[in-house]
Amino acid sequence: MRSKAYIFLLAILVSAVSFSEAQVLYKQNHSLNTALKVLKYDKDLKNAGIGFYAIDINTGEVLSKLNQDLSLTPASVQKLITTATALETLGPGFKFKTTLQYTGNIDPQTKILNGDIIIKGGGDPTLGSKYFTATASHYFLDLWVKKITEAGIKYVDGKIIGDASLYGNAIVPATWSWEDIGNYFGAGPCGLSIYDNMYTLWFNTGPNIGDSTYIIKIEPEIPGLIIENHVISDKVYSDRSYIFGAPYTYYRYINGELPLNRTDYKVKGSLPDPAYFTAYELKKELKKYGVGSGEASTLRIEGNDYRIDTMKRNDLY
């Protein structure tokens, strides 16, 4: 009887070992590992740094890994993690809110606002975005003007102020590449964003290698923006130009190459100051509808002397 028990336990042990070996073999032959081996031994990637680590979220088991402790600068794939985190934290039904406010008082006789209009940013990345049908028409500007006039305001005896204080003033982290931050993909997060924090340059290029290129249009038109163009025409098949310039500055230097013999070739850059440009766009829209105002500004520009956070704000929208 005892010998039968030993045989039974031995059979269980052998089965467990076999299963464990099968699991190890399965992991070694997992499609992830196969793909990683291709990358690891690719001659074109011999100088590249590759790090990978994948686990089964249900069991915690490591499915595949390669240089998992190597320090690397994350690329655009990092957006998957931040997007997933936002969905889990905020929920799929969350909506960002940009608030229109005013300080001071409205004279019922003269229809003059003795105060400022404030655009309080709520971190909305889609305001005026071309990537969404509901925002691409710039309807929000018409809506804001409507709310201002419905409040009985015919003139703003103050400023139009963009308040982007939600995320602070450092819209571009200090570690970001100088080669990136002037271009559209280097636009930083801002408490008050507009038009994807981006502008577009239209180029005409020459028929010969080394020919000059010419900027024929900038959209949207940004007041004070100066661009020094050193881009040449070359035998390339895509945009090889780079825009250099720091946040909040309006001098841009662009060099590199663009394809030969093109008209209306688009190159995209990052807005120098999204909050200011939002205020500027509202000021311009108000003027179009006959509502005068003072200059466009931002909370950052006004500085600490402008105690907007201690002033009473009235909501318009």
Q: How far is CA 313 from CA 127, 153, 274, 309, in A?
A: 22, 15, 22, 9
Which H or E run includes 54? strand 52-55
Helix (H) or strand (E) holding 118: strand 117-120
For residue 38, what pLDDT is reported?
A: 87
Supply angle C-alpha 241, 243, 247, rounded to 5: 160
**Which element (helix H / strand E) includes 211?**
none
For residue 260, count CB atoms less than 10 angstroms from its CB and return exposed for 0-12, middle for 13-18, buried for 19 or more. Answer: middle
Whether residue 229 has pLDDT greater than 90 = yes
H helix or E strand, kind and range, residue 310: none
The predicted-structure confidence for 98-141, as pLDDT tens digits, reads as follows: 999 999 999 999 999 999 999 999 999 999 999 988 888 889 99
DSSP classification of residue 281: H
In the predicted structure, residue 299 carries a pLDDT above the cut 60: yes
Closest residue by Cα to residue 286 from 96, 143, 88: 143
**Residues 116, 295: contact at Cβ < 8 Å?**
no
Q: What pTM was computed for the model?
A: 0.80
CA 48-41-31 angle, 5° bins: 105
Cα(304)–Cα(240) distance, rounded to whole angstroms? 42
Q: Is pLDDT at 288 greater than 80 in this prediction?
A: yes
d(CA 83, CA 95): 14
Mean pLDDT confidence for 11-20 = 38
Under DSSP, the state recorded for 219 is E
Give residue-wise pLDDT tens across range 68-109: 898 887 777 788 888 899 999 999 999 999 999 999 999 999
Distance of CA 285 to the CA centre of its chain: 25
Question: Strands 155-156 and 296-298, how do they pair?
Answer: unpaired
CA distance 12 to 5: 11
